[in-house]
């Protein structure tokens, strides 16, 4: 559908904006955008509200078509979009609603270290991470999977990695879904996807993916921070990566399949990029099984990267990971579809929740929150762009009620990658970042240009909206000390 610059937004309060069902023929639910007036300017300029409205026409969608404050234009569903469908009432599943980099996600590692412990070794730590963890477009890793091992990765995710010695059993407990999404079926993954995944396990990739050494700058919620093992002045490590070429291929394969079948199920689309199929159809079930397999690959990928991160710290600092206090705080998925039970119109129903560029954020006492975090809720990790802050938040009851327990996944782009490279022409960005106290190691100049801070919204403003709207609450803020990029 062509962009429509007449999108009507009704102000609900300072942080919520509604697209009424009267805006577009076929809307089954309203759209709901979380933003303040400043962020809304970026959102209107790109006209992403039209995508929010488009999503509201999908079969089986319930409650709202949601958009987080980091929303920007995406394939079909906007990046920063959330859509839940009732699978028992013709609800669909859509590859474009999950995203290309299936289970692109973030994990946060805490330590007992302070800046004084690593100041003289920060350059060596950064160089060691750059050396030990393969990164860059098309990069291949240290692990070459046999066909049998790759199938096991797709079935078991983190559990495979830990079994092979890439980490500890306790890591699994602090990974969303235990690092292994149920229903994964390697037989639903194409041979081309298998080929692309064979040599990429344990690699960072390129684009917005990164590995970052950080310092905790601020604590907002002492109780939650203490439960998560966080304190002011602490050194943390953040890992951002996904399912690499395998996940992209799964998405590409099923977009093609569903583009050819949706009309058979009587589905009319306002945007062909929203190609989908009923969840209970053959194509819907096949995609969900393949998507789960790709999600498991991504969890295993981040697990291996974390293992080599621990080894690098041990090597450079001359202490083992237990002495360093290196433990996984949590790992969250960004691009994923989940079967979850939620209350809709007073009834508990099973939904297929699409979170594309959005993060699960469950509240205290939810059964899916790790036992040791039950009293405060699930950690939510919101990475900033290169050179700016990142945040830890926690899920809330209000978020569970309004957003199916979802929140944002990052800052959100305001500049295309091509535009960012144009703006960066002639500038020495690595030097600029070094002047701000940030060490950068990267495979290529283009990646630095594409991911420069000006290309993104202000992550602190995005997080402020979440906090003030009450759908997740701030716990801690970290600023970067060193970053590794592809």
> Domain for residue 4, yes or no?
no
Q: Which CATH number characterizes residue 239's domain?
A: 3.90.1860.10
Q: What's the DSSP call for residue 202? A: T
pLDDT score at 474: 98
How much is the mean pLDDT over the chain? 94
128-140 residue pLDDT tens: 999 999 887 777 8
> Domain for residue 1, yes or no?
no
Which are the contacts of 331, defined by CB distance < 8 A and separation ≥ 6?
Answer: 105, 106, 107, 108, 174, 175, 176, 179, 299, 302
- Residues designated as active site: 409
Q: Are 213 and 239 in contact (CB under 8 A)?
A: no
pLDDT score at 338: 98
> Domain for residue 385, yes or no?
yes
> Domain for residue 400, yes or no?
yes
DSSP sequence for 333-352: ESSEEEEEEEEETTEEEEEE
> What's the domain range around 287?
10-485
Encoding tokens for residue 219? 């604590």
Encoding tokens for residue 94? 């859509």
Average pLDDT, integer, range 321-342: 97
Q: Are 21 and 56 in contact (CB under 8 A)?
A: yes
Per-residue pLDDT at 222 exceeds 60? yes
Cα separation, 483 vs 108, whole angstroms: 14
> Domain for residue 262, yes or no?
yes
262-305 residue pLDDT tens: 999 999 999 999 999 999 999 999 999 999 999 999 999 999 99
Bridge pairing between strands 234-241 and 347-356: unpaired
> Domain for residue 2, yes or no?
no
pTM of the predicted model, to two decimals? Answer: 0.95
197-213 residue pLDDT tens: 999 999 998 888 999 99
> Domain for residue 169, yes or no?
yes
Band of pLDDT at residue 1, cut at 50, 70 and 90: very low
| Cα distances (Å, whole numbers) of residue 216 to 212, 238, 316, 342, 385 | 12, 12, 21, 34, 16
Encoding tokens for residue 410? 């990052």
> Domain for residue 5, yes or no?
no
> What's the structural domain count of the chain?
1
Which are the contacts of 3, defined by CB distance < 8 A and separation ≥ 6?
Answer: 47, 50
Cα separation, 95 vs 207, whole angstroms: 21
3 state SS of 315: helix
- Percent of the chain past pLDDT 70, that is, above it, reads 99
């Amino acid at each position: 559908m062509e962009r429509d610059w007449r999108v009507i937004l009704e102000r609900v309060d300072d942080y919520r904006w509604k697209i009424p069902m009267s805006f577009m023929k076929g809307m089954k639910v309203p759209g709901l955008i979380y933003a303040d007036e400043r962020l809304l300017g970026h959102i209107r300029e790109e006209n992403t509200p039209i995508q929010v409205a488009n999503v509201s026409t999908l079969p089986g969608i319930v409650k709202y078509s949601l958009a987080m404050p980091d929303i920007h234009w995406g394939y079909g569903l906007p990046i920063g979009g959330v859509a839940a469908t009732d699978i028992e009432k013709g609800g669909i599943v859509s590859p474009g609603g999950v995203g290309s980099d299936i289970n692109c996600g973030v994990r946060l590692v805490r330590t007992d270290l302070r800046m004084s412990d690593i100041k003289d070794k920060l350059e060596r730590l950064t160089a060691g991470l750059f050396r030990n963890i393969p990164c860059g477009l098309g990069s291949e890793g240290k692990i070459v999977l046999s066909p049998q091992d790759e199938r096991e990765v797709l079935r078991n995710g983190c559990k495979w990695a830990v079994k092979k010695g890439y980490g500890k059993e306790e890591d699994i407990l602090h990974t969303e879904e235990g690092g292994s999404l149920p229903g994964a079926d390697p037989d639903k993954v194409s041979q081309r996807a298998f080929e692309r995944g064979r040599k990429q396990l344990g690699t960072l990739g390129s684009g917005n993916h990164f590995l970052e050494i950080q310092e905790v700058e601020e604590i907002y919620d002492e109780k939650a921070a203490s439960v998560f093992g966080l304190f002011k002045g602490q050194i943390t490590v953040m890992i951002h990566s996904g399912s690499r070429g395998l996940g992209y291929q799964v998405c590409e394969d099923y977009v093609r399949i569903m583009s050819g079948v949706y009309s058979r199920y009587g589905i009319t689309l306002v945007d062909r990029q929203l190609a989908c199929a009923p969840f209970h159809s053959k194509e819907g079930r096949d995609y969900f099984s393949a998507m789960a397999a790709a999600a498991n690959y991504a969890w295993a990928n981040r697990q291996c990267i974390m293992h080599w991160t621990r080894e690098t710290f041990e090597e450079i600092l001359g202490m083992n990971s237990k002495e360093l206090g290196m433990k996984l705080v949590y790992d969250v998925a960004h691009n994923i579809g989940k079967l979850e039970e939620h209350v809709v119109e007073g009834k508990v129903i099973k939904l297929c929740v699409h979170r594309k560029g959005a993060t699960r954020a469950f509240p205290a006492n939810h059964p899916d929150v790790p036992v040791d975090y039950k009293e405060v809720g699930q950690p939510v990790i919101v990475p900033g762009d290169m050179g700016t802050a990142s945040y830890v938040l926690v899920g809330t009851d209000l978020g569970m009620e309004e957003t199916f327990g979802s929140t944002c996944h990052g800052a959100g782009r305001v500049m295309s990658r091509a535009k960012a490279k144009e703006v960066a022409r002639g500038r020495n960005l690595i030097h600029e970042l070094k002047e701000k106290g940030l060490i950068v190691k990267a495979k290529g100049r283009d990646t630095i240009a594409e991911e420069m801070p000006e290309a993104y919204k202000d992550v602190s403003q995005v997080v402020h909206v979440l906090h003030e709207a009450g759908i997740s609450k701030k716990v801690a803020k970290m600023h970067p000390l060193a970053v590794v990029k592809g």
